[in-house]
Structure formats: structure tokens, C-alpha cells
Structure 1
């Protein structure tokens, strides 16, 4: 099996939870380098990996083909650009960049260098997202008319992470963080909208970056998609509500890969490594072919973030489709930029 050597730009939560475990367990990847500016925490689980004290040092000295830019969003553009100029392919954590201009420049540079940039949209591999996609594809709901996708939390106290909560830091806040997932899912389900209206602000106060947003996406076929997130939600809503001409589907957010990884789970290659559901997590209520009401309690199939890196490997080795390429995620950045502008101007923005 061809081996792809990888370098991680950081070993914080993203590196420890979302990247290193999958790269280690996948037989096609080898973690050659990890950047740890002051510590050597990675040595315990990855003793064969070389530690570097800066991204610049790693790019200059490490024998790597793929660089994972998993640093704060404010640094994504600079580090991804450095990696491309050093002749490396790049995986960038979400959110891709802080604005469209940066995203477009990276995509252009990658094309010029005949390299690739992929954005780590891991929640395309969540069980709940995949279940909604399945229900939509089955067509039982008829033409979809209204959709709400939510990602709520109950985190009323500051985290202390300036790159996420400082309102002066461009790209900080929930709109770029959680919004990058919700926007991506809406575009994957329904394509690029015609216009939008957004309300974005901080419930914790003006001294903090936005922690609440609501975006209404308008589609030319009269479809409305509402994306919403709040950190003051103690009681969970359904994460997905899909309403069509023939019925409705409600889906809970039940993908616990992140929780299991944080708890130390090892994501086995080629296996469903997450714990199975013990109960149903969705409600399908629709009119069947005889126009009779059917109400079905549904259970989603396991998701698997390993599939992202499997697709990266298959692109490198076999030339298969690249997951979430930069050119595709630029559309998401256009929506996030427009949502910011819409909230500031308090008006509908045409895309």
C-alpha cells in the first residue's frame, strides 16, 4: 500500500481528536511530523513522529506530502499558503478562512501549483446528517418547502479562547465556527441559495464574539432554509426539521464521534467503531401512495470520520473525487460573508 507522509501543524484538541487518531489507524498514512511549540505531548501516542517547534521549521525539514492546517482560523490562510508554496498538499480545518478573498487566493495558488486543498468538513460524515440526506433522497416528503438546521449548545460562560471569543479577532465567533457546518450542510442538500437574511450577535455581550446566529436562505423554487445556533439552549431542539408537500421529518443530533474520541476511543480502519444507538432518533410522518398517514420512528446508521481520510487517500493514490475541495467551500465562505453583511445592514443580501 502506498504510504502518504503527513505533517500536523498543531497538537491541540483538533490534532488530538479529529486528525491524529484517524491518520494513525489508516494504513495508508504515516504521521511524520507534528508541531508542538513548547510541549511534547504527542510522544506518548506517536513516539515515531518528529516534533517541530514551528510550522516553518516543519515545512523546511520534514519529509511530508500532506500538511494538515489545524491551527486557529486566523492563521489558516498564512499556513496553508506556506504549505502550498513548499509544494505540499493541504487539508485545512474548518472554517476554511476568515473571508472569501483568502479562500479564493488559496484555491488559485493550489491550482497553479497542481496541488490540492481540501477543507475538513467532517460533519458530512455524521450519522444524523447522513440520515437526513437519505430521507430527502427517498422522496417520501415530496417537494421540500421548509427546512431548519440547528446546532445548539449550553455554554453560557466564556471559554477563555481569544481566537474564538475576541470580537476584534476576524473569523471568531459561532458564525464561522458552527456556521461553517450548517452552511455546508444546507449547500450539500439544496445547492447555492439566491439570497439570504441573517441576524448575528453575542448573547453574552458586546465584549464577546457572536454566539448566536439565524440565517434564512432563500431559494428560487420557494424553498426556505433556516440555519440557527445558540449557546443558551439548555433543552435540545430537533437538529433537523424537514417539511415537504407530503410530510415532515424530524431528526435529533445523535452523532457522538467527538465525545467518544475525547473519551479515548480508537477509530478502527474499515470498521464501524462508534457505539450503536439503543433507541430511535428520528420521526418520519408522511402521506403514502394511498394518501394514508404513516408515522415511523427511525434510527440513523453510524457515521464515520475515517471516511474523510479514506477519500483523501483515494484521491492521492487513485485520483478519485476529492472531498470538500477548496473551490466548493468558497461557496460556503460567500454565504458566511454575506450573513455578516446582512446582519450589519439589517437587510436581505443577494448572492
Structure 2
């Protein structure tokens, strides 16, 4: 029987990422979408006619049709309250990153889920970016030699404040680019190079009227000795390399962003042969003093998150993302705020 699922929130995360991935996976049934916006109600109803669309959790739960799984894809400051209520209602929960704006709240939520016997995980989808999967394999394979530096950059050009909650929420409540892109970039750095010894951060406000950071840099020194340098910005007129990994024997450089987000936004489904394939920048250049090699990027695979989650829910196996690792990322973002220059 399919895992009955509700997506709470139908903004960017719910509309572009979660609903399409769940709808495409035969292990799940997308039974309900929670949104109160008239525009989003119309969009959800048109795209998913088999799902009931309700305005809030009260309307979802009062008819007694409790889902197996709920995905919290709402503004960052609402994650904890919604997830807690769902867990206490007997529902397993996916929370879109970050798990919470504050690490203490995130850690308490993880403990609460465990005490209730419910499964809680976090959608750290960029672990399944194709370029990141390829970088991870290059590092693990040893071709670069001992890694000295890891550079990672993600951003776009949005020079004026918009209506999004990401621009309107204060940094302390999970607004800004650190809490938007930091959970991805920091999570990837830790996945590659392990725990962090020290941190430096520059969290700048470049746009008129900004209430949170929009152009930020975080430097991590890992216990392994690797230094990670992470750039995140919404005022980036020209892209940096997405990844640059400097080893003692070679340097790997990757350009371009993973294609899955724009593909999902355009309606490309995961079983399309083009899904997850990097068209504009299909390779990563590995350059040593004597050679240049172009390594094909692996296909991106966000559907793997939900495949692994289905196995975990049915068989009791490991979750696709251990939520304690997401707590560690939030702790590092808090350290970045404290250490900002």
C-alpha cells in the first residue's frame, strides 16, 4: 500500500520540490496539500486533482484521515510548531531544511520524535546534486591527493528586496541567505571533510532595506585540516565556480548549478531521460601539472531521498538524512552569526 502523504505549504519548496517528487514515486500517494493562498489553492488543485486541498492543519486532521507522512515546506519560523503537532498526531515528518531557526529547538524536536516513536528527517536534497556526487567520488577516489581547500559557491542576481518571507524574516527567525543556502553548503562541506574546528563568517546586507543577510561568506577549518570556503549570495551578477577542490596532486573545478530545481519547476518529471542531466556544463575539469581530464557529472537524483525514506518507513532502516546532522549544521550557522566580522 502506498504511503499516504500530505505536503504542508505550496510555495517554492512544496510546489517545486516535494509535491512533484512524491507524485512521481509509486511508493507514495499525494493525498492532501495544505495552503491558504487562493492562488496556490488553484494551482495545487489544477496540478494534483486527486489531492484534497485544505487551508490549515485543523482542516486536515479534523476529518480523521491522518496521513502516514507529512512534509513541512513552510517558512522557517513555522517548522518546529508544525512538525511537533504532526508528530504528536501520530504522523512521520519530513521538514524542509533548515530543521529550525535555532539549534536548541531542532535538538528538542529530534528528541521529541524519538520519544514518540515517530520518524523525523530533513530534506537536505543537495546531497543528491549530480555535481556534488561527482566531487564526492573524486575526493574519495584519491585522484586529487590530500585535499587542502574546498570552495563552494551558490547564488543568483536579485538586487531588490522581494515579497518572499526569505527577504522579510529577521536572521534570528531563519530569514536571509545564510539560512536559505547555508544549510546546503555547510552540510555538503561536513559530508566531505567532517567536523569543524573553527569558523569565520561575513554576513553582509547589500540591498536597500535589507533586514537580514543577502551576501555572505563562511570559512570552516575542519579537524581534518581541510579549509572550506563557502559563498552564498542573492546579489551575484556573475557566477563563481560551483565547486573548486584543491588537492596536492590536482584541482577539480565545476561550473554551473545542478539542473533539477529548474527542471522540476518546468514540469520535467524524474522518469524523463533528461532529468538531472547537466546540459550546459556536463563535466568537471580535473587539472594536474601534467594532465587535464574532463569527468562527466553524475546525474542529479533528488528522488533518491524519497526512495530511501520509503524503505526506512516500511522496513525500519536508516533515514535518508539523520536529523542530528541537521542540528549540527544549525549549530554551525549560529557559530557563524556569533563569529561574523
- TM superposition score category, shorter chain reference: over 0.9
Partner of 1:53: 55
Partner of 1:96: 99
- How far apart, in 2, do the equivalents of 1:133 and 1:124 lie? 10
Residues 77-86 or 312-321, more deviating = 312-321
Partner of 1:29: 28
Query: Where do 1:123-134 residues align within 5 Å?
Result: 123-134=126-137
Offset, 1:275: 4.5
Q: Which consecutive unaligned segments of at least 5 residues does structure 1 have? A: 288-292, 347-351
- How far apart, in 2, do the equivalents of 1:130 and 1:315 lie? 22
Partner of 1:336: 333
Is 1:14 matched up with 2:13?
yes
- TM-score for both structures, normalised by structure 1: 0.91
Partner of 1:290: none
Partner of 1:349: none
Is 1:200 matched up with 2:203?
yes
Superposed CA deviations along residues 278-332 of structure 1, whole A, max 9, x for unmatched, are: 6543210136xxxxx2211222021121111101101111233211121121110
The 3 A distance-change label for structure 1 pair 198 and 51 is: same
CA contact (8 A) 2:7 2:73 kept: yes
- How far apart, in 1, do the equivalents of 2:26 and 2:274 lie? 16
Offset, 1:24: 1.0
Q: Which consecutive unaligned segments of at least 5 residues does structure 2 have? A: none
Offset, 1:38: 4.2
Query: Where do 1:1-351 residues align within 5 Å?
Result: 2-39=1-38, 40-41=41-42, 42-61=44-63, 62-167=65-170, 170-205=173-208, 207-268=210-271, 273-275=275-277, 277=279, 280-286=282-288, 293-343=290-340, 346=341
CA contact (8 A) 1:127 1:254 kept: no
CA contact (8 A) 2:94 2:121 kept: yes
- How far apart, in 1, do the equivalents of 2:74 and 2:5 lie? 15
- How far apart, in 2, do the equivalents of 1:181 and 1:278 lie? 22
- How far apart, in 2, do the equivalents of 1:121 and 1:81 lie? 19
The 3 A distance-change label for structure 1 pair 164 and 83 is: farther
The 3 A distance-change label for structure 1 pair 190 and 169 is: closer
Residues 162-171 or 217-226, more deviating = 162-171
The 3 A distance-change label for structure 1 pair 12 and 219 is: closer
What SS does the corresponding residue of 2:231 show, helix, strand or coil? strand
- How far apart, in 2, do the equivalents of 1:103 and 1:28 lie? 28
CA contact (8 A) 1:74 1:163 kept: no
Offset, 1:125: 1.0
The 3 A distance-change label for structure 1 pair 134 and 73 is: same
What SS does the corresponding residue of 2:288 show, helix, strand or coil? strand
- How far apart, in 1, do the equivalents of 2:75 and 2:323 lie? 18
Superposed CA deviations along residues 185-236 of structure 1, whole A, max 9, x for unmatched, are: 0111111111111111211146331001111111233321111112232221
- TM-score for both structures, normalised by structure 2: 0.93
Q: What RMSD over aligned residues (CA atoms) do the two structures have, in Å?
A: 1.8
How many residues are matched? 337
The 3 A distance-change label for structure 1 pair 137 and 275 is: closer
The 3 A distance-change label for structure 1 pair 276 and 242 is: closer
- How far apart, in 2, do the equivalents of 1:142 and 1:168 lie? 38
Offset, 1:161: 1.6
The 3 A distance-change label for structure 1 pair 143 and 310 is: same
The 3 A distance-change label for structure 1 pair 323 and 212 is: same
What SS does the corresponding residue of 2:121 show, helix, strand or coil? strand
- How far apart, in 1, do the equivalents of 2:79 and 2:224 lie? 36
CA contact (8 A) 1:121 1:324 kept: yes
What SS does the corresponding residue of 2:264 show, helix, strand or coil? helix
What SS does the corresponding residue of 1:151 show, helix, strand or coil? strand
